[in-house]
Structure 1
Amino acid sequence: MDPSLTRRHLFLCILFPFALGYYLSYLARVVNAVLAPDLVADLSLEADTLGLLTASYFFTFAVAQLPLGILLDRYSPRKIESLLLLVAAVGALWFAIGNSAWDLIIGRGLIGLGVSACLMAAFKTFTLWFKPEKLPLLNGVILASGGVGAITATAPVQAALTITDWRGVFLLLSGLMVVASATLFLLVPEHTETQHKETLRAQLQGLRAIFSDRFFWMISPLTMLSQSSFISIQSLWAGPWLQDLGGLERTAMAHTLLLVACAMVAGFLVMGTLAERLSRLGVEPILLSAGGMLVFQCLQLLIILVPEQNWLTPVWIGFGFFGTTGIVQYAVLSQHYPRHLAGRVNTAMNLLVFVAIFILQSSIGAVINLWPQVSPGHYLKEAYQSAFGFILTLQLLALIWFAREYRCRHRKKTLKPKMT
């Protein structure tokens, strides 16, 4: 940590601006879970169209990741994020005034592109200003701000719908994104290391080294599928599930999603703090994260097999809490690779996660659409079970892969003779 900056300056000039950007990013990401009935009613959307519309955010987000990693390691993270947030503001405005499914797909795609740097720019900036051992906690704090965005996207958005409609929500979101862009540009200080320049060829070689490294591929499948499954369900399909299988009205559904979002905030903070403290005792953060993802899979199995109302609230709260554990692996990657690769390794991981979200979120809609609707916008129990069961199977296979690779790596470390 730079000794020239006080704790107050670090909070006001680094943590707060990036937290505001990520807050809005996550609000835009998950708000469709509450707005879905209104979008379906106003535009007569089918389940597969609704899934594609919501997933378009994740497609453009994913496409941006590799170029973004190169840019973050080459230029100022604050300038890049400030500029992209203006693109997100345009997307939110487009969404608000759209009159067709394609208008909303384009608008949401622009939002995804515009917020694509919100988390990665923060992670890159933290590697410049803070010690490596502080990264899990700091990453947890910034992620918790996203959780606050998820909280805002539930009951508060539902309450806002009593005085405006979904168009008004996105108009407000557009204005807030402009404010966040200005805040980042004006408050965040430059770090001399952000001016470090590699040739484009050297940067591409660094990216190639990441994608050819077995350590990266040990971590990425499980992290990718765990995070993409969590976000795919939380940002859209949790809302319809709670109404169709949980039997909840709109307000009760929004309040349950609020509890899920609160649990997510707690998960980010607890896992970040726990990872830092356990690492002092010799417990690797990678194992904490893998254990949490196993619990997350067990909770998904309960959601699939026991959708009765008795289990509804505690199971979904657990879903929100343990759905965050995969994010610890970003700090693991930042600690494993040289600092000048921090932007590229995190965006490489993010690329895989958000490609998977686009595929899974739209696939869930396609699978659900194979069954007839109970009524417009409402679906059968078997449809949800098949869709959720499919993505859980993928996560279980990834967990087996991780356990195998970790065991092989640990065995090689044990058998490798020490160099003198």
Structure 2
Amino acid sequence: MAYVIVFFHRVAAGVVRQELINSFNITDVEFGNFGAMYFYPYMLMQIPSGILADTLGARKTVSVGIILAGIGSLIFGFAPNITFAYIGRLTVGLGVSVVFISTLKILSQWFKPDEFGRMSGLTSFIGNGGALLAQYPLVVLVAAIGWRKSFSVIGGISVIIAIVTYILVRNKPEDLGLDPIVIIKEKKKSSIKDGLKIVFTNPRTWPAFFAMGGIFGSVIAFMGTWGVPYMIDVYGLTKGEASIFTMMVTLGLMIGSLIVGNISDRLGKRRLPFAAFSIVYLVVWIVFLFVNPGNMSLGFMYVLFFLMGLTSSGFVLSWACGKEVNPEKYAGVSTSIANMGGFLFAAIIQPIIGFVLEQSDGAGGVYSVEAYNKAFMVCLVVIIISLVSLFLIKETNCKNIYSE
């Protein structure tokens, strides 16, 4: 449930774009920056998140983080100007930044190594339920009580979830008097400094960072910030209608997360399914940018957006790819580096899209399909970077292959 809150905030910006522009009198570049404000602290906190998960433990880390996210959501809801809105979004990003890596740490303790792909996919599936809530349901909620009260309510719910997390979650089976599932042979006490050095200097760590970066960054930029404005401007839809199309991306990502994790564990391969899904994802973007002139049927767009989400889900394997080439006891740090790539790319992409749009022929903040396609070329570039990096990933055969 904490991860549902994470995904809700990740993609909520696109739904309230016009409300923010009207309330704070901001430009599209400033709106792009607002969307990115979530990702800057999230990206910077990935290494500290791994350290906290490995030392303080996931239970305490997530509980404190989600309370902080709730406070940030309340700040945003009551923001008198764009500066306070930025502060609120930054606080949210800081708070939720610790949740996913902590969840992966728990998965590494409560499940066997050959179950990690499936459980990562299931985690992504559940988390994306938050992305669904942040689309059409959020449109309905904002229409009913306004965007300020909507985010204030989410802030209150976040605090409740943080309390429940602290009551229910345990870091490892031993905390409940159960036998450990994962036994780490080396009993020497872990050193944070040594762990960072080992993981950072391991050349096998970094291909997963870039492979995650372009795939995740591009789908989140579209699904979370620019997909709704695209459908409103190009197809003349209402915000509610447009949000249903970005929901198709989310549904595809949810289903794909379950499929790719299961395929990977059953095949005993990481790189092969990751590459296969990502190549098709590139093809979907090529069709979207070069075949779609902005007047294709809405039925076709439903299918295209669903496939965009489905095939982007290969990125869930990047966490396993990073974890399985590093020492098991540093699972938090190694998965956090792979995860950091996605949020670095997402933070960079969104303001660039806003900047390119503002340089185009937009009248009154409404842009043509040509303007959007030009802006979305940045997504195509980062996807190609990811594909190149993918082929540098070391195949682990779903086992930890780290050796001194």
Provide the TM-score with structure 2 as the length reference. 0.89
| Contact 2:215 2:382 (C-alpha < 8 Å) held by counterparts | no
Partner of 1:292: 277
Name the CA shift for 1:246/1:303 in 2 (closer, same or farther; >3 Å): farther
Q: CA deviation at 1:239?
A: 0.8
Aligned to 1:181: 162
Task: State the 1:372 CA deviation.
Answer: 3.4
- The CA distance in 2 between the partners of 1:246 and 1:57, in whole Å, is 28
Deviations 1:210-250 (A, max 9, x none): 22222222332122111111111111011111111233222
Contact 1:368 1:384 in 2 (8 A): yes
Confirm or deny: 8 A CA contact 2:212 2:341 kept in the other structure: no
Instruction: Say yes or no: does 1:121 pair with 2:102.
Output: yes
Please tell me the root mean square deviation across aligned C-alpha atoms, in Å.
Answer: 2.0
1:222 aligned partner: 211
Aligned partner of 1:363 in structure 2 is 352
After TM superposition, the structure 1 stretch with the greater mean CA deviation from structure 2, 382-391 or 26-35, is 382-391
Q: Which one-letter code corresponds to 1:98 in the other structure? A: A
For the 8 Å contact 2:39–2:346, the answer to whether it is kept is: yes
CA apart distance, 1:89: 0.8
Confirm or deny: 8 A CA contact 2:353 2:376 kept in the other structure: yes
> How much has 1:390 moved relative to structure 2?
2.2
CA contact (8 A) 2:39 2:344 kept: yes
Pick which of 232-241 and 267-276 moved more.
267-276
Amino acid at match of 1:286: R
Q: Which residue of 1 is the match for residue 138 of structure 2?
A: 157
Cross-structure match for 1:402 = 390
| Stretch deviating more after TM superposition (303-312 or 51-60) | 303-312
Q: Superposed, which structure 2 residues align to 1:210-289 within 5 Å?
A: 210-279=199-268, 284-289=269-274
Residue 37, structure 1, aligned to residue 18, structure 2: yes
401 and 70 in structure 1: CA distance in 2 versus 1, 3 angstrom threshold: closer
Structure 1 position 193, deviation (Å): 7.3
Deviates more, 1:377-386 or 1:46-55: 377-386
SS in 1 for 2:145: coil
Q: Provide Cα deviations, 1:189-217, integer angstroms capped at 9, x if missing partner.
A: 243779x99878x3223222222222222
- State whether residues 227 and 327 of structure 1, in contact with CA within 8 Å, keep that contact through their aligned partners in structure 2: no
| Counterpart residue type for residue 331 of structure 2 | A
Query: Counterpart of 1:287 in structure 2: which amino acid?
Result: L
Instruction: Give the C-alpha shift of residue 259 in structure 1.
Output: 2.1
Deviations 1:13-46 (A, max 9, x none): xxxxxxx000011011111111112111222221
Q: Does 1:380 align with 2:365?
A: no
Is residue 328 of structure 2 the alignment partner of residue 339 of structure 1? yes
Q: Give the 3 Å change call, closer, same or farther, for CA 163–288 of structure 1 in structure 2.
A: same
Corresponding residue of 1:169: 150
Give the secondary structure class of the aligned counterpart of 2:159.
helix
Mapped pair 1:80 → 2:82: no
> How far 1:401 moved relative to its partner?
4.2
2:206/2:338 contact within 8 Å kept: no
CA distance in 2, matches of 1:285, 1:308: 38
Gaps in structure 1 of 5+ consecutive residues? 1-19, 411-420
Q: By how many angstroms is 1:49 displaced?
A: 0.2
State the AA in 2 paired with 1:271: V
Aligned-pair identity in percent equals 24
Residues matched between the structures, number: 381
Runs of 4+ displaced beyond 6 Å:
196-200
Between the aligned partners of 1:43 and 1:99, the Cα distance in structure 2 is 8
Corresponding residue for residue 352 of structure 1: 341
User: 28, 42, 59: which is aligned to 1:61?
Assistant: 42
CA shift, 1:160, in A, is 1.3
CA contact (8 A) 1:85 1:115 kept: yes
Change (3 A) 1:26 1:285: same
Cα offset, 1:113, TM superposition: 0.4
| Partner SS for 1:214 | coil
Alignment partner for residue 311 of structure 2, among 312, 322, 333? 322
